[in-house]
Chains A and B, each alone.
Chain A
């Protein structure tokens, strides 16, 4: 029985591949459409990865600096740090006393002798500070609320620095990422639907061309699975070929157009990451593309054959 099943599956696959070869011209439209769908899908995945990577890069450098008055006591400082930690939005917090701040300032400006001379002539004018790296840079409201509290505001010598400019850029990129995600999902859905319709009609035409053969198969006692199987294998082959084409097209585009894209993104996006992501995940992408192609093909042909090959 097991051997019988194995033989049947082997024949279904063989017949499907033979049919694929015979119907290649009829199948071209379906393969082309599926290739476009998979290319859009791949672009959406790579673009999403690039946007996310850029946002991650930027957000990892966001911090909040709180400048303290010289008369703030250790107790007051500890109390403020406790309040900030209690917000739950603090990934890392660091206190730099006045001498550390000065030392870092001097290191940062070691080539600027005028500045170093000026600062050495006075007693250290730089305030001690608390540097907060937030968990979620998109929402700093809770940290801001703690810092703006009257008792805490009194401890600060200067306004808090929120890495303001960078935050605005990140917000723009994040909203662009969300837009592209949504547009990508809608685009993919539309193209998946169109390619399924084309495959559906290709299979219907194939069924029509081979209706005599199918009638004979049914009368000779072929099971519905044995009749439908080769059609499904055939469309799965469409999917696999379309995936390979799409991958080659994308690889060529990333190789040729990455510099142009880098320039057109005004340096905001790390386009080189797209190529890096593509190469790094090549096998995963290949498998994903083939799986997506096979699923689209199998689903549409299963639907097309269900209606026309019902056992009477």
Chain B
């Protein structure tokens, strides 16, 4: 599903963010990427969503070789990958329904298809009845679940969640993780970055540790200890 072969990313000012990273993730896997701030986790995700190009190395996602990807193919690629951010990135002027519908509108779905799809996905993330609320009226956990609903509404094969629990208290953090597990159970490959050692250790999933831009460990059932 995801293949990184000796991928490096060097910035002119910041220096090397990723150094010959090789990683292979199977379909339907739930992989947790851990590491300190600045370790290279976010750079890795930016490469996967093609916000940036690697300095060297090869990336293949869902059979798409990024080397052969032209600029006009990028929107199509992004529609196949769901993304969730620490700061939610919701549109404050739109309701929960409209925020989720936004992703489908971009993909060109008709209004009737959108109307049919959204209740199901809001039910999946436990936000039934909140359709008409604005993000400001929701708790942090609920906002993140809206972001997850928006990310999975197009049924992507891959979901990338970059520190989705970073701004949440433990209870809401667990709500979000449970939704991600549910999404994974439906067949979506999930890549999660987190600092939260309790979550990592409790999930008992594959854990990849990045340090100074390099993968220092990759365990099928891993654990993590905050430095």
Q: Which residues of A contact B (CB under 8 A)?
A: 3-5, 7-8, 11, 212-213, 215-224, 226, 311-312
Contact = CB atoms under 8 A, between A and B. Distances in A.
Given A213-B91, A221-B78, A312 B52 contact: yes
B50 A222 contact: no
Interface in B66-119: 71-72, 74-80, 83, 89, 91, 102-103, 105-110
B95 to A, nearest CB: 15
B106 A221 contact: yes
Contacts of B83: 219-220
A8 B108 contact: yes
Closest 9 CB pairs of A and B: A221-B78, A221-B79, A4-B108, A222-B106, A223-B75, A221-B75, A220-B103, A8-B108, A216-B89
B51 interface: yes
B86 to A, nearest CB: 14
A222 B108 contact: no
A217 B49 contact: no
A4 B110 CA distance: 8
Given A212-B91, A312-B74, 17 more contacts: A4-B108, A5-B108, A7-B110, A8-B108, A213-B91, A216-B102, A219-B49, A219-B51, A219-B78, A220-B79, A220-B150, A221-B77, A221-B106, A224-B75, A311-B72, A312-B51, A312-B52
Interface string B43-78: 000000111100000000000000000011011111
A233 to B, nearest CB: 15
Contacts of A216: 89, 91, 102
Contacts of B51: 219, 312
A11 B49 contact: no
Given A4-B108, A217-B106, A222 B75 contact: yes
24 contacts: A3-B110, A7-B108, A7-B110, A11-B105, A213-B91, A216-B89, A217-B106, A218-B78, A219-B89, A220-B79, A220-B150, A221-B106, A221-B107, A222-B75, A222-B106, A223-B72, A223-B75, A224-B75, A226-B75, A311-B75, A312-B50, A312-B51, A312-B52, A312-B74
A236 B217 CA distance: 56
B110 A220 contact: no
Contacts of B50: 312
Contact of B78 (A7, A11, A220): A220
A220 B150 CA distance: 9
A3 B108 CA distance: 9
B89 A212 contact: yes
A180 to B, nearest CB: 48
Contacts of B71: 311
B52 A220 contact: no
* Chain A CB within 10 Å, residue with most, of B50, B52, B74: B74
